Amino acid sequence: MAMLSSYFKNDNYTIAHNKSGKTIVTDTPVEYGGEGKSFSSTDLLVASLANCIFTSIDKILEREGIAKEEIFIDAGKSLLQNLKRLESISLTIKTPLKLNETQTKKIMNAINICPVYKCLKDGTDIVINFEKSNK
């Protein structure tokens, strides 16, 4: 059985998660003429990277015995017009967690082995910043 189904109906692109029945209605990227009424395919790609990073961070915090608090990721993207592809992704990870230098390095190393990051890194410029926040 397929994991996902995508379909076009009534001017909407829809992705269905077959196991849960949850759906996401998407739009063409604004950069390519979309209306910005919903996530675009490239927005979802950036969101997949952010979610993969959350998973990596979660595993490190668990192994380090660090209580999980709020973590935020602000994301941006740039698309190339002439090649119709993702040029760059910028992510800023913000958290009030008090991490030492070694723990911060472990998190950054874990990000670099995230499967989505590994798929994107050779064709897309990915900039990741890590900031301490004050909640």
Give mean pLDDT in consecutive 10-residue pieces for the chain, a chain of 135 residues: 85 90 91 89 94 90 85 91 87 88 87 90 90 75
3-state secondary structure of 86: strand
CATH code of the region 41-132: 3.30.300.20
Q: Write b or e for each residue in 16-25: b if 16 or more Cβ atoms lie within 10 A of its Cβ, otherwise e.
A: eeeeeeeeee
Domain ranges of the chain: 41-132
Res 1: pLDDT: 64
Res 14: pLDDT: 92
Res 115: pLDDT: 92
Report pTM: 0.86
Res 87: pLDDT: 92
